[in-house]
Structures are given as structure tokens and as C-alpha cells.
Amino acid sequence: MSVYRNGKTKVALISGASKGLGRVLANFLAAQGSELIITARDERRLEAVGRELRNQGGQVRTVAGDIGLAEDRQRLLEAVRSSGRLDLLINNASTLGPLPMPSLLNYPLDDLRQVFETNTLAPLALAQLMQPFLATSGGLVINLSSDAANGGYEGWGGYGASKAALDLISLTLANELRQDGISVVSVDPGDMRTDMHQDAFPGEDISDRPLPEATQPFWAWLLGQDHASISGRRFSAQSELWEVLA
């Protein structure tokens, strides 16, 4: 039985699932009985996660690739077709862009385009591809955002702008897809002790940041909600008040 719906086995697609929050989400959903399709660029790490979950009894399909590439997104679509349904799309994969992160006035525009390709356009492209399956299941799309989307932090302009755009895309999709029975939310998971966060702060001690597992109570709550009642909202997974009010 899935934690977020009763009935048939639910299918979830998670990008960026080879480590960090994506891996935590994969473990969490597998433990609830969901069938998983997981993807990431690092095939070796992804296969290791797949083996770990299968050894625990999970139903997992791994599709290594880059969600920024149309041909790899098509392979994910084929995996969903093979499963026959899709209930949950979690757009977790992200890139910080060039490191150290440059100021906007010094940001190479080709690099900025790539940041938007991965962080903004790829999640939208996946939602477009998966729309028929999500409509059939009354599915939920979760787009991972960041406090950088509205923080205006120095050096975070490229990444933050891509996430701010993703937030607007999430809200707009929620409004446009409501008639199809598809719900869309964005979630700021908060600072976490991950490789990506360490990359953003090279040489700094980030041991005071919580592990991604700290967000599990939030996910248990979110996925237990009626989808339509939360669609269009933005959440902060580590705040005392999970919903971010306008």
C-alpha cells in the first residue's frame, strides 16, 4: 500500500535519485510499497541504489541518463509506458552551474542556459511527456525548489533564477492542469548535508546541516494529503510551518 493513496500499487518517477534527497525519497517510497522508476546521470551510483532497494523487496527500474537531454527523457517515457501508469513525478535533479558560482554579471551565458535546461526546462518537459499518465491516475508533480529562488543571495543568481522560474511554472501548471485532475506543488527542501550543498560551499564544514532524512516527516504528511487540496502551493520541508504563505 502506498502512503499517499490506497488501492493499486502506485508508480513514482524520481530524477536525481542516485544520492542525497533523491535517494532518501526513493527509499521512503519503496518502503511504502510504491513501484519506482529512478534516474540519474551517474549510472554506477544509480544501479547501486537500485540493487539496495530490490534487496529490500522494492520494485525498481533504473534508467541512467540526463533529464536535460530529450533522448533520455524519451527513455523515461518508455519506462513509464512499460509500467502502465504514473502517479507521482518528482523533479529532484538539479545543477548548481559553474563552480565556484559566479556573479550574474560574470556568468557565462552558455552555462546559464544549461542551468535553466536542467533546473527549469527539463522538469517542464517531463511534465509534458507524462501528462497522459498523470491525468489517468490523478497524479501529483513535485518540483524541488530552493530558498535561493527568492533570496537574492550573492553568487546564487543563476541557480536561484532557475528555481524562481520553476516555482512560477509549478503554479501555472497547477492552474492549467487542474481540469485534468493533475496536481502540482513546489517544495523547498532546505539546507541539507549533501554533495551538492558541499559543492556550493567548498572547503567549509557543513556538518551542522541536517541529513536529507530529516525531511521524511514532511514527505509523509505531503503525500498523505488530498492532491487537489494542495495543488498550486509552495512548501518548505524543514520549516515549522510547512506551507510558504504568499
pLDDT in tens, 112-132: 999 999 999 999 999 999 999
Whether the CB-CB separation of 86 and 10 falls below 8 Å is answered with no
Mean pLDDT confidence for 10-35: 96
Residue 6 domain-assigned (yes or no):
no
Evaluate whether residue 4 is within a structural domain. no
* Annotation says 159 is catalytic: yes
Q: Strand, helix or coil at 192? A: coil
Cβ neighbours of 226 (radius 10 Å): 10
Domain residues for the domain of 224 are 11-236
> What's the CA gap between 85 and 212, in Å, rounded?
28
- Given 4, 107, 153, 159, the catalytic residue: 159
pLDDT: which is higher, 138 or 7: 138
- 236, β-bridge pairs: 188
User: What span, in angstroms and rounded, lies between the C-alpha atoms of 212 and 171?
Assistant: 25
Q: Is pLDDT of 1 > 70?
A: no
Residues 6+ apart with CB under 8 A from 68: 114, 117, 118, 121, 122
Q: 4 and 220 in contact (C-beta within 8 Å)?
A: no
CATH number at residue 47: 3.40.50.720
Q: Specify if 5 maps to a domain.
A: no
156 inside domain: yes
Q: Is the pLDDT assigned to residue 51 strictly greater than 80?
A: yes
Domain count, the chain: 1
Residue 107 lies inside a defined structural domain of this protein: yes
How far is the CA of 55 from the CAs of 78, 181, 224, 232, in angstroms? 24, 35, 26, 37
